[in-house]
Amino acid sequence: MPWRLARQTETPTGGDPAADGGAEARSVRCECCGMAEECTPTYIGRVRERFQGKWVCGLCAEAVKERQAREPALTVARAVEAHAAMCERFNSTVRLNPKLSLASSMRDIARKSGQRRRRSSISGATAAAVPPPLSACGGDNKLARAASCALPYV
């Protein structure tokens, strides 16, 4: 697997691994997604220092950076917590029941679409009075249909 690193048996200088602070790679699990990687203790320490004591894999680290870029007021700890919660939701729905996940995604899309329509109708109400567009049938977009627009019954 590509994220598995080969075990290091000697330090980069060629000395004793114990003399370099234990350069022997060891397995560590991401606190967001749960993926395990083999890393040196030095690297593990640097990652934990950067992410407030939590070890985060490279993919989750990029997601946390992206979240912080979208929400600059968000602290690193809060961004990691938010990403961990998203990973937990993903693991509890998509991996366990893909059909339930699809239904949930469709619900979210419908909810966002409704919010956009509501926002555009609110912003349209505050804008200058613009006459409503004519329907394809030449009417004024009322509920009644013109005879030319009658739908055939099957």
Does the pTM surpass 0.75? The reply is no
What DSSP assignment string belongs to 81-142? HHHHHHHHHHHHHTTT-HHHHHHHHHHHHHHHHHHHHHHHHHHHHHSPP-PPPPPTTSS-S-
- Specify which residues 27 forms β-bridges with: 38
- Does the pLDDT of residue 126 top 80, yes or no? no
Alpha-carbon distance of 81 to 74, in angstroms, equals 11
Query: With contact defined as beta carbons under 8 Å apart, do 91 and 38 qualify?
Result: no
Examine residue 148 and state whether it is found in any structural domain, yes or no.
no
Q: 24 lies in a domain?
A: yes
SS3 call for 23: coil
Query: Which one, of 14, 10, 50, lies nearest residue 31 by Cα?
Result: 50
Residue 104 lies in a domain: yes
Q: Is residue 124 part of a domain?
A: no
Classify 9 as helix, strand or coil. coil
Q: What is the pLDDT of residues 74-122, one digit of tens each?
A: 999 999 999 999 999 888 877 777 777 788 788 889 998 888 888 888 7
Q: Give me the number of domains the chain comprises.
A: 1
Give the whole-angstrom CA distance, residue 108 versus residue 116. Answer: 12
Note the pLDDT of residue 92.
80
Residue-range definition of the domain harbouring residue 73 = 1-111
Domain annotation covers residue 76: yes
Determine phi and psi for 27, rounding to 5 degrees. -80, 135
Residue 147 lies in a domain: no
Asked if residue 135 is part of any domain, the answer here is no
Residue 39 belongs to some domain of the structure: yes
Give the orientation angle of helix 76-93 with respect to helix 58-70, to 10 degrees.
120
> pLDDT by residue (tens digit) across 30-74?
999 889 999 999 999 999 999 989 999 999 999 999 999 999 999
